[in-house]
């Protein structure tokens, strides 16, 4: 279980301080699919990077199974928004990177790689180098690579943000399928409200300046889900609720800017 | 008919190899035109025929191949020594602020000293033998190469390293499994470019004080107004340059089939 307690993050640039995150409290239970949704600049990526150990909170703490996070480690797999496959390794060697690094016997690695290439539909492409793959394919490999390392939690930073709309839909369904098989704990970040509702058990809505979690909303939609769910009444009601929440917040922020301008 | 010819012309004009052949033929043609027409004094521009004859006689005198080999040896010795030290130091400077701060001032200073200005000092220290030539090439390339390699390694995307960290990479594995493989194609390019400079410095060193090598051959030919022999020396250096460049590129393609170059 991932737990975030009273986390603040302040960036200091050239003497001035920016509060990126203020008093973040949240938890992700075992096998939960948690999604943080929020506008760009709300600090959601910073929060995820701190969970990965790539960044440190200014105050507060983040723990995984009660152990505080000190730097990155293989217990927290991460899928980045930008393409981060190792270009000199073939698809299968990319997937084998983590297990090989962590000293898993070669025989075992082979079956792990086969398994994850299978569930992500990459078996035919195993010998290719990343340069031969499309964006969607690269992110499939990135997901397989993260899962092959058997992390306790999968951290995903807008992994489908750079993909076109059709590919994104395919990838969302693929991710749900893999997740339902593996029963991994996932913390997923997006600014796309449809994506958030479609994937999540729980949605944490973030607002910005300073970034804070405004509301935590359970998603009671039944599983397994496919994209038909996007047009159901329950889905649209949830979407309306979240859209209004974010819209209200941005209106408030805009008014504050106007008011401070008048003064 | 007309359309057919047009399309074949188009195909001809599109192929890069044809442009290559065209440029070589143009230069050769211009050379022939200027020299055979007698418009230019052969002391300034010998004809291709005269150069070919000079090539044969240099070969018969038994100087061409030994001189080429001695120059090649000096270039390779200086260049390999520079590369052997510059690669680890460049990587260390790219990954450690302390190492960078320690070496940066000295390297930045020496890098701006023209090697040609250091040759008198080198002769004073090392004499005019092979060692001095190798030292000139080393000094001329090492300091440039270190900074080029530092840049190449620094350009490895941070997210690639972060991805490796989240997969459990730490310590030396970060170097051997990520930084080095990621920067090798760039390092290869750095070496290729540096090789060109190595040749330049070698010839300069051989021109100043030497009793063997291609630079020496060129200087001696100039004293006797044997322009055709100067041209032989230049041609040999130029061809060796093209060949090394080609070898580097071919080696890169064999070693790094995964490498994605812009515009290819």
Q: Tell me: the pLDDT tens digits for B12-61?
A: 666 777 888 888 899 999 999 998 888 888 888 998 999 999 999 999 99
Query: Which chain A positions have a beta carbon within 8 Å of B169's beta carbon?
Result: 101
Q: Check if B259 contacts A (Cβ < 8 Å).
A: yes
For residue B264, what pLDDT is reported? 42
Q: Tell me: the pLDDT tens digits for A180-214?
A: 988 899 999 999 999 999 999 999 999 877 889 99
Q: Tell me: the pLDDT tens digits for B99-134?
A: 999 999 999 898 888 888 889 999 999 998 899 999
Query: Which chain A positions have a beta carbon within 8 Å of B174's beta carbon?
Result: none
> Residues of chain A whose pLDDT is less than 70?
257, 260-263
Mutant choice from A84, A135, A154 vs B, greatest count of B C-beta within 10 A: A84
**pTM for this prediction:** 0.85
For residue A252, what pLDDT is reported? 76
Instruction: Name the interface residues of A facing B (CB cutoff 8 Å).
Output: 52-54, 71-74, 76-78, 80, 82, 84, 86-89, 97-98, 101-102, 129-131, 142, 145-146, 149, 155
Nearest CA-CA partner of A57 in A17, A1, A5, A2: A5
Flag whether B47 is in a domain: no
CATH for A63: 3.40.50.300
Flag whether B264 is in a domain: no
pLDDT at B168 over 60: yes
Query: Which chain B positions have a beta carbon within 8 Å of A156's beta carbon?
Result: none
For residue B4, what pLDDT is reported? 57
Flag whether B263 is in a domain: no
- Encoding tokens for residue A223? 């599983």
Query: Chain B: residue nearest A78 by CA?
Result: B166
pLDDT at B239 over 60: yes
Query: Chain A: residue nearest B160 by CA?
Result: A84
The pair phi, psi for residue B91, each rounded to 5°, is -65, -45
Q: B146 and B27 share a domain?
A: no
ipTM (interface predicted TM): 0.91
For residue B263, what pLDDT is reported? 45
Q: B177 and B96 share a domain?
A: yes
Mutant choice from B156, B159, B161, B163 vs A, greatest count of A C-beta within 10 A: B163
When CB atoms are compared, the residue of A73, A80, A131 closest to B163 is A80
Residue B251 CB neighbours (<10 A): 13
Q: Tell me: the pLDDT tens digits for A135-170?
A: 999 999 999 999 999 999 999 999 999 899 999 999
Query: Which chain B positions have a beta carbon within 8 Å of A102's beta carbon?
Result: 168
Q: How far does chain A reach from its first CA to its final CA, in angstroms? A: 47
Domain tally, chain B = 2
What separation in angstroms does the CA of B30 have from each of A42, B39, B41, B42, B48? 67, 12, 15, 14, 11
Q: B30 and B67 share a domain?
A: no
Q: Which residues constitute the domain of residue B181?
A: 53-255
When CB atoms are compared, the residue of A77, A88, A149 closest to B181 is A88
For residue A23, what pLDDT is reported? 92
Is the Cβ pair B258, A77 closer than 8 Å?
Answer: no
Q: Which residues constitute the domain of residue A141?
A: 2-262
What separation in angstroms does the CA of B118 have from each of A173, B4, B242? 67, 62, 28
pLDDT at B223 over 70: yes
Domain tally, chain A = 1
- How many CB pairs below 8 A link A and B? 73
Q: B57 and B36 share a domain?
A: no
CATH for B221: 1.10.3720.10
Query: Which chain B positions have a beta carbon within 8 Å of A73's beta carbon?
Result: 166, 168
For residue B262, what pLDDT is reported? 56
For residue A250, what pLDDT is reported? 74
Query: Which chain A positions have a beta carbon within 8 Å of B178's beta carbon?
Result: 86
């Amino acid at each position: 279980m991932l737990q975030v307690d009273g986390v603040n993050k302040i960036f200091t640039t050239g003497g001035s301080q920016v509060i990126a995150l203020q008093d973040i409290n949240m938890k992700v239970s075992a096998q939960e699919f948690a999604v943080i949704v929020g506008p760009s600049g709300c600090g959601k990526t910073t929060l995820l990077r701190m969970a990965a150990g790539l960044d440190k909170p200014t105050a507060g703490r983040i723990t995984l199974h009660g152990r505080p996070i000190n730097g990155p480690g293989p217990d927290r797999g991460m899928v980045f928004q930008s393409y981060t496959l190792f270009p000199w390794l073939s698809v299968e060697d990319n997937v084998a990177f983590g297990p090989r690094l962590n000293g898993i016997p070669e025989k075992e690695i082979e079956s792990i790689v086969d398994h994850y290439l299978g569930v992500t539909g990459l078996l035919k492409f195993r010998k290719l180098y990343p340069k031969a793959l499309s964006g969607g394919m690269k992110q499939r490999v990135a997901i397989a690579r993260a899962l092959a390392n058997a992390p306790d939690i999968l951290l995903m930073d807008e992994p489908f943000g750079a993909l076109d709309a059709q590919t994104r839909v395919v990838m969302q369904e693929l991710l749900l399928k893999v997740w339902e098989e593996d029963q991994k704990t996932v913390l997923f970040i997006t600014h796309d409200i449809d994506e958030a509702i479609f994937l999540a058990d729980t949605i944490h809505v973030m607002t910005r300046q300073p970034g804070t979690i405004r509301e935590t909303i359970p998603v009671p939609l039944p599983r397994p889900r496919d994209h038909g769910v996007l047009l159901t009444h329950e889905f649209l009601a949830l979407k309306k609720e979240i859209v209004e929440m974010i819209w209200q917040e941005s209106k408030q922020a805009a008014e504050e800017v106007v008011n401070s301008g008048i003064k | 008919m007309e359309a057919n010819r047009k399309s074949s012309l188009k195909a001809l004009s599109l192929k890069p190899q044809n442009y290559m052949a065209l440029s070589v033929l143009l230069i050769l043609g211009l050379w022939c035109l200027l020299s055979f027409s007698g418009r230019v004094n052969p002391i300034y521009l010998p004809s291709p025929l005269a150069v070919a004859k000079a090539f044969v006689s240099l070969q018969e005198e038994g100087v061409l191949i030994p001189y080429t080999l001695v120059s090649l040896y000096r270039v390779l010795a200086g260049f390999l020594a520079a590369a052997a030290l510059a690669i680890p130091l460049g990587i260390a400077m790219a990954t450690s602020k302390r190492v960078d701060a320690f070496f940066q001032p000295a390297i930045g200073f020496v890098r701006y000293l023209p090697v040609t200005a250091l040759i008198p000092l080198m002769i004073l220290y090392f004499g005019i033998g092979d060692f001095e030539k190798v030292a000139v090439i080393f000094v001329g390339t090492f300091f440039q190469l270190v900074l080029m390699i530092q840049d190449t390694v620094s350009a490895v995307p941070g997210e690639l390293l972060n991805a490796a960290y989240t997969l459990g990479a730490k310590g030396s594995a970060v170097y051997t499994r990520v930084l080095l493989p990621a920067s090798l194609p760039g390092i290869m390019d750095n070496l290729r470019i540096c090789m060109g400079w190595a040749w330049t410095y070698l010839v300069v060193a051989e021109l100043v004080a030497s009793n063997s090598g291609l630079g020496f051959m060129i200087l001696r030919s100039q004293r006797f107004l044997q322009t055709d022999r100067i041209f032989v020396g230049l041609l040999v250096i130029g061809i060796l340059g093209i060949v090394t460049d080609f070898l580097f590129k071919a080696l890169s393609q064999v070693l790094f089939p995964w490498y994605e170059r812009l515009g290819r």
